[in-house]
């Protein structure tokens, strides 16, 4: 990493920012950058310019016996010939979010199957029978309608019943799929870190501790 960038990142952390680094293959770079951009990354060049306008010196060279340097663990600066050694006091905050995860799926697929069925039906069938039978004696008057020598035609039809099949569809059951949602409260347990500094003043044999309490944005020092 370029030294200028390293000191700028250290200054961002000192001012309460968070630095995220990702080690990934070249094929994943674009996707990772998109994710970070969606989560609210900052324009670091713009911030660095703002810091410099406020008096932050960035990386300076050694001049005489006074040294100005910025690092990840501390910062030394000189102001009017006075050297200050600074240890940043930091405290982590726990932020709990939520995301949707896939717990599986239920898939319903309908299909049509055929099964053989049998029903019995009684059918009626007619048959015409033609029979010749001898008649003895002489035909008496009135026994035959009209002249027995008159031409006539008798027609008789044979009829029969045959099975006719029809089908009717009716709904016998339903399969219903629905999603039900419920809410639950889950307790997330984790740890957060903070910086504490023990001060040993050998001049008066006193020991004190400096740390952060309450809102990490408000630092109370003792």
pLDDT, tens digit, for every residue of 40-85? Answer: 777 878 888 888 888 888 765 433 333 333 334 444 444 455 667 7
Least reliable range by pLDDT among 11-25, 75-89, 124-138, 177-191: 75-89
- pLDDT over threshold 70, residue 155: yes
Report the C-alpha gap between 203 and 198 in whole angstroms: 15
- pLDDT over threshold 70, residue 197: yes
Report the C-alpha gap between 89 and 69 in whole angstroms: 18
Local structure of residue 209 (DSSP, 8 states): E
Higher pLDDT residue, 68 or 167?
167
| pLDDT tier for residue 209 given thresholds of 50, 70 and 90 | low
- pLDDT over threshold 50, residue 175: yes
Higher pLDDT residue, 12 or 69?
12
Contact indicator for 207, 201 with CB cutoff of 8 Å:
yes
- How far CA 198 is from CA of 16, 76, 86, 148, 202, in Å, comes to 21, 19, 13, 147, 12
pLDDT at 72: 40
pLDDT at 9: 85
Least reliable range by pLDDT among 81-85, 187-191, 211-215: 211-215
Contact indicator for 220, 214 with CB cutoff of 8 Å:
yes
- Residue 46 in 3-state DSSP? helix
- pLDDT over threshold 80, residue 145: no
The values of phi and psi at residue 91, to 5°, are -145, 140
pTM of the predicted structure, to 2 decimals:
0.33
What crossing angle do the helices spanning 3-14 and 44-53 adopt, rounded to 10°? Answer: 80
The mean pLDDT value for 23-48 works out to 83
């Amino acid at each position: 990493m370029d030294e200028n960038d390293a000191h700028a990142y250290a200054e961002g952390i000192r001012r309460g920012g968070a630095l995220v680094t990702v080690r990934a293959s070249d094929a994943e770079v674009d996707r990772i950058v998109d994710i970070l951009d969606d989560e609210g990354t900052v324009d670091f060049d713009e911030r660095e310019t703002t810091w410099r306008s406020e008096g932050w010196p960035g990386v300076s060279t050694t001049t005489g016996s006074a040294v100005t340097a910025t690092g990840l663990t501390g910062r030394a600066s000189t102001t009017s010939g006075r050297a200050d050694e600074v240890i940043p006091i930091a405290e982590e905050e726990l932020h709990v979010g939520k995301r949707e995860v896939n717990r599986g799926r239920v898939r319903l697929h309908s299909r049509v199957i055929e099964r053989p069925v049998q029903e019995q039906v009684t059918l009626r069938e007619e048959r015409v029978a033609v029979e010749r039978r001898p008649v003895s004696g002489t035909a008496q008057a009135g026994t035959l309608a009209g002249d027995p020598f008159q031409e006539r035609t008798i027609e008789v039809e044979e009829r029969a019943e045959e099975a006719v099949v029809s089908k009717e569809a009716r709904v016998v059951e339903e399969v219903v799929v629905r999603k039900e949602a419920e809410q639950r409260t889950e307790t997330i347990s984790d740890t957060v870190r903070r910086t504490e500094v023990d001060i040993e003043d050998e001049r008066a044999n006193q020991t004190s501790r400096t740390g952060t309490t309450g809102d990490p944005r408000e630092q109370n020092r003792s």
